[in-house]
Amino acid sequence: MRGLIFGGAACLLAPSTFAQALDDQFHYYTYGNVAHSLLILGSSDSRTGGGLSMAVGRLDPKLRLFRHVDGELIWEGYYLVTNGKSNTQFPAETTEAWGALATARYRWTVRRGISFYGDLGFGVQFVDHVTKDLRLANNTTPVFGIGLEFSYANKTALLLGGRVLHASNAGRTSPNPGQNMLQWYIGFRYQH
């Protein structure tokens, strides 16, 4: 256990050579995902679905960790469609959501051409109608995720990852169960 702790600390403090290899130009991302609701933290509406997103990112010196790990600020727009099970108050329905996220991404090199990354962000989401867990059509969306990035061509990479997107109305109505979506995605990073 002690080795795991020291190894993790070394990864956090070591320079991220892959992130340093990224230049300060804009990077573009496309993602496709499958999603399933997690019935935790008050959520009780079982939903499944998927979505698409487009994003643009750039290294930001203000997001640097421990003076060695560069942070990338990523602006993402997404579309998510989910289907819920029926109950007496809310019949089975398809819900469409559109959202925007601002995410900080941190990378650590695993080996040449392969990096581990972690995401932490916040955004807003608009749904076409309310559901059992989302009592308002506009919600806030904190998000965190992890993934692997495989560089396979000059400034191009394949991303495989997962994230939890929590949507709720931030206490503006009661009850406020919120919705917790686990998303598994595949994505591509490219640069002109």
pLDDT in tens, 100-133: 999 999 999 999 999 999 999 999 999 998 777 7
- 2-190 is classed CATH 2.40.160.20: yes
Per residue in 22-71, pLDDT (tens digit) is 567 899 999 999 999 887 766 677 889 999 999 999 999 999 998 889 99
Question: In this predicted structure, what is the pLDDT of residue 20?
Answer: 42
Q: What tokens does 53 get?
A: 């997103």
Domain-by-domain residue ranges, the chain?
2-190
pLDDT at 141 over 70: yes
Calpha distance 5→116 (Å, rounded): 17
Query: In terms of pLDDT, which residue wins out, 18 or 144?
Result: 144
Which of 69-78, 90-99, 143-152 is predicted with the least confidence, judged by mean pLDDT? 90-99
Phi, psi dihedrals of residue 165, rounded to the nearest 5°: -110, 115
Calpha distance 133→46 (Å, rounded): 9
Q: What is the DSSP letter of 24?
A: S
Closest by Cα among 42, 33, 47, 31 to 95: 47
Calpha distance 111→148 (Å, rounded): 11
Q: What tokens does 187 get?
A: 């994505």
Calpha distance 115→21 (Å, rounded): 12
Question: In this predicted structure, what is the pLDDT of residue 87?
Answer: 59
Calpha distance 170→178 (Å, rounded): 9
Question: In this predicted structure, what is the pLDDT of residue 178?
Answer: 78
Q: What tokens does 4 get?
A: 């795991």
**In the predicted model, what is the mean pLDDT of the chain?**
84
Question: In this predicted structure, what is the pLDDT of residue 77?
Answer: 99
pLDDT at 14 over 70: no
Closest by Cα among 95, 77, 75 to 85: 95
Answer whether 181's CB lies under 8 Å from 167's CB.
Answer: yes
